């Protein structure tokens, strides 16, 4: 799923006008310029449902709507679609219908339920995959094999909200949280979950709680607007980032201002082709290792529906980095790009740097001699830098 930014239901025109005048730029101005409505991740919906269910378990009443606080401080409210409180308050269930905004998300309209049950003191929060939520069966994902496919950030968000409810109503916080999605197993057939070894249903995802809607034409237009604003502000160095996590890394590494940040999303080609015609002195490309491995392999659209991580390509890069044939074969057969990276890191093969350097060279090829120096930063899911390529210009 895409990394996300705040949902907007109006006011885009003001931000768009400011961007056009050069008074504002960067990610927020790009988002406003698209004019698209944002939505909520499955993780945000699961957090809201869990908060409502545990509140009812302790107080006897379901909050409706239920308000949560997202990692960036937004406080959306969710209406409950279903609710059920068992006798003696041993179990409570609440459900929220996912609104993906204007994003063509296969989970839009899905009913996400959370059933919360009391556990013995000292148990903590235990997560369980209910009907329609998958289980991890292969390594290479951010969860151990056998775990319910509820990603780390949604888990942490749910834990934090349940702790707040426990403090408010005098609960112990020791509960089982079972997340389920109506028809989730059927919906999951339209995702990459089965190929990744997530069986039985969907993943509960989200790093910011908010879904950025992707209309190709609107988003590419917003990228162009972002470049225009940066150039009008006199910025000589801009960064094309695949999402909010990579944006934070680019800011930390290069100390770039907001109006030098381009929300590239999956559209690497759009950034490169527009900067080819409207150059800046330096472009940093920053994104997840798997996405940038696609750019390294020559793909300009990094969306999972239109390009996939080529493990054979990664194996060849690993060979160039000194991997023996056994390691190269293991990389080619890896479940995910992350798993391939972890294998090479353990063996001392700098696969992250090799992907970054190859992605930089592909970017320079698309720039076709434009006077732009390019560097690349690859990160992992946690935002840690796992590969870098120093800036190189045309003809270098």
pLDDT digits (tens, 9 = 90+) for 149-166: 999 999 999 999 999 999
Q: Are both 195 and 51 inside the same structural domain? A: yes
What average pLDDT does the chain have? 87
The residue with tokens 């696609």 is 294
17 with 48, same domain? no
Integer Cα distance of 206 and 203 in angstroms: 10
- Do 93 and 194 reside in the same domain of the chain? yes
Predicted confidence band of residue 373 (pLDDT cuts 50, 70, 90): very high
| 310 has pLDDT over 90 | yes
Confidence of residue 364 (pLDDT cuts 50, 70, 90): very high
| Number of domains observed in the structure of the chain | 2
Burial of 69 (0-12, 13-18, 19+ CB in 10 A): middle
Given a contact cutoff of 8 angstroms between Cβ atoms, the answer to whether 146 and 135 are in contact is yes
Place 12 in a pLDDT band, splitting at 50, 70 and 90. Answer: very low
6 lies in some domain: no
Q: Which two tokens stand for residue 42?
A: 């499955």
**Mean pLDDT throughout 60-79?**
94
Strands 282-288 and 237-241: parallel
Same-domain pairing of 124 and 234: no
Backbone angles phi, psi at 180, to 5 degrees: -135, 160
Residue 284 inside a domain? The answer is yes
Give the model's pLDDT for residue 218. Answer: 64
Q: Is residue 33 part of a domain?
A: no
The stretch 328-336 carries a mean pLDDT of: 94
Name the one residue in this structure whose structure tokens are 């491995």. 293
Please give the backbone phi and psi of residue 114, each rounded to the nearest 5 degrees, phi first: -130, 125
Domain range spanning residue 231?
12-25+213-392
| Confidence class for position 27, pLDDT limits 50, 70, 90 | low
**192 and 88, same domain (yes or no):** yes
Strands 261-263 and 237-241: parallel
Distance of CA 190 to the CA centre of its chain: 18
The whole-number average pLDDT for the span 61-70 is 96
d(CA 23, CA 76): 28
**Whole-angstrom distance, CA of residue 314 vs CA of residue 138:** 19
Give 11's pLDDT tier (boundaries 50, 70, 90): very low
Residue 19 lies in a domain: yes
**String of DSSP letters for 313-351:** HHHHHHHHTT--HHHHHHHHT-SSHHHHHHHHHHTT--H
DSSP state of 71: T
Residue 303 region by backbone torsions, left for phi larger than 0, else alpha for psi between -120 and 50, else beta: beta
**pLDDT(24) > 70:** no
Q: Note whether 48 and 189 are same-domain residues.
A: yes
Report pLDDT for 23. Answer: 41
CB of 363 closer than 8 Å to CB of 283: yes
Which residues, 6 or more positions from 128, have their beta carbon under 8 angstroms from its beta carbon? 148, 176, 177, 178, 179
pTM for this entry: 0.62
How many Cα atoms occupy the beta-carbon half-sphere of 55 within 13 Å?
22
Give the model confidence (pLDDT) of 167-202 as tens digits.
999 999 999 999 999 999 999 988 778 867 889 999
Segment 52-67 shows an average pLDDT of 96
């Amino acid at each position: 799923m895409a990394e996300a930014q705040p949902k907007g239901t109006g006011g885009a025109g003001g931000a768009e006008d400011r961007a056009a005048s050069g008074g504002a730029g960067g990610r927020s101005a790009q988002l406003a310029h698209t004019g698209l409505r944002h939505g909520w991740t499955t993780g945000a919906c699961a957090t809201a449902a869990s908060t409502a269910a545990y509140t009812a378990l302790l107080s006897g009443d379901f909050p409706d709507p239920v308000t949560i606080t997202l990692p960036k401080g937004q406080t959306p409210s969710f209406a409950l679609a279903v609710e059920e409180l068992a006798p003696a308050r041993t179990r409570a269930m609440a459900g929220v219908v996912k609104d993906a905004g204007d994003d063509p998300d296969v989970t839009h309209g899905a009913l996400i339920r959370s059933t919360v049950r009391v556990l013995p003191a000292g148990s903590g929060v235990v997560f369980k995959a209910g009907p329609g939520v998958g289980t991890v069966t292969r390594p290479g994902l951010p969860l151990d094999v056998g775990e319910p496919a509820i990603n780390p950030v949604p888990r942490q968000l749910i834990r934090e909200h349940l702790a707040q409810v426990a403090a408010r109503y005098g609960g112990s916080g020791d509960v089982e949280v079972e997340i389920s999605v109506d028809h989730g197993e059927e919906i999951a057939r339209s995702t990459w979950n089965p190929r990744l070894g997530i069986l039985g249903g969907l993943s509960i995802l989200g790093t910011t709680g908010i879904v950025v809607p992707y209309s190709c034409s609107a988003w590419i237009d917003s990228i162009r607007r972002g470049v225009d604003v940066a150039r009008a502000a006199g910025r000589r160095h801009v960064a094309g980032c695949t999402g909010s996590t990579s944006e934070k890394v680019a800011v930390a590494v290069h100390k770039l201002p907001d109006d030098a940040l381009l929300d590239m999303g999956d559209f690497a080609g759009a950034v490169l082709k527009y900067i080819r015609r409207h150059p800046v002195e330096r472009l940093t490309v920053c994104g997840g290792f798997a996405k940038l491995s696609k750019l390294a392999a020559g793909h300009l659209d990094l969306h999972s529906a239109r390009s996939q991580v080529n493990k054979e390509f990664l194996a060849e890069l690993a060979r160039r980095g000194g991997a023996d044939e056994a390691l190269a074969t293991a990389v080619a057969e890896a479940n995910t790009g992350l798993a391939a990276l972890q294998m090479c890191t353990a063996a001392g093969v700098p696969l992250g740097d090799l992907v970054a350097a190859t992605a930089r060279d592909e970017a320079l090829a698309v720039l076709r001699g434009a006077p732009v120096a390019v560097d690349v930063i690859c990160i992992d899911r946690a935002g840690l830098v796992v590969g870098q390529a120093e800036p190189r210009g045309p003809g270098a």
